Amino acid sequence: MRILLLGYGKMGKAIEKLAVRAHHTISGKIEEDNKADLARFSAKNTDVAIEFSQPDAAFNNIRYCLENSIPVVSGTTGWLEKKPVLDEICLKNKGAFFYASNFSIGVNLFFDLNEKLARLMRPFNYHVTMEEIHHTEKKDEPSGTAITLAEGIVRENKNFTGWHLGNGEEHKISINAKREGQVPGTHSVKYGSTIDDIEIKHTAHSREGFAKGALSVAKWMVNKKGVLSMKDFLKTE
């Protein structure tokens, strides 16, 4: 498989390491200082693009690929207000676009557990708080994973109307975002009351789980069409 890496930070390097070990080819690496080189890539020399760049670069990177018949696997967060536009471009061009806020299989199981717990807690009077901890180089907060968790709770538990960063609003989930050292990612969800607390937590020990998941999705994307997500991928696992 010929893989174009859009973004060559910590995740890009982790994906490259696993890809080369699995005998895939890196067709190119696009960063801020060589972004003009993206024009050299097409379906003729690339089978899939894996995009972990920056929020301000993600939209244009993905749009170029979709308009040039390159399937895209994206995990960049902090730009999702523009995603509906890319979904339309994907469908118009009969392309393939896969987005996930987190590619770890463990985190996606955690998403399911989070939604099931939210359903169980519907009849009870608990306040929900969340905490996410990431490395100091992460630009967006809260993390895309934290937002996915919060949206899952709101969808399954009508006691909550949304989420916000920090503390305060009633009927909204409070998310506390911390940036510390080189933490790959820790997320916790706590239901609290005056009587007791119930808490679930996921802790990533390295980026390898994220990179392995992204590479697995990229292989799965061969011959796929449309706007896809982890729910589509996990149906086949």
Options 24, 134, 187, 202, the catalytic residue: 134
Cis before 71 (ω within 30): no
* Chain-centroid distance, C-alpha 151: 14
Backbone angles phi, psi at 15, to 5 degrees: -65, -40
Element (H, E) at 156: helix 144-156
Is-catalytic flag, 235? no
Please give the structure tokens belonging to residue 77. Answer: 């967060």
Options 127, 135, 138, 224, the catalytic residue: 138
Element (H, E) at 155: helix 144-156
Cβ atoms of 190 and 128 closer than 8 Å: yes
Q: Coil, helix or strand for 65? A: helix
DSSP secondary structure string, 168-235? --TTEEEEEEEE-TT---EEEEEEE-SS-EEEEEEE---SHHHHHHHHHHHHHTTT--EEE-HHHHHT
Is-catalytic flag, 138? yes
Cβ atoms of 167 and 174 closer than 8 Å: yes
- Close Cβ partners of 76 (under 8 Å, ≥ 6 residues apart): 7, 51, 52, 53, 54, 55, 57, 58
Q: Coil, helix or strand for 166? A: coil
Active site residues: 134, 138
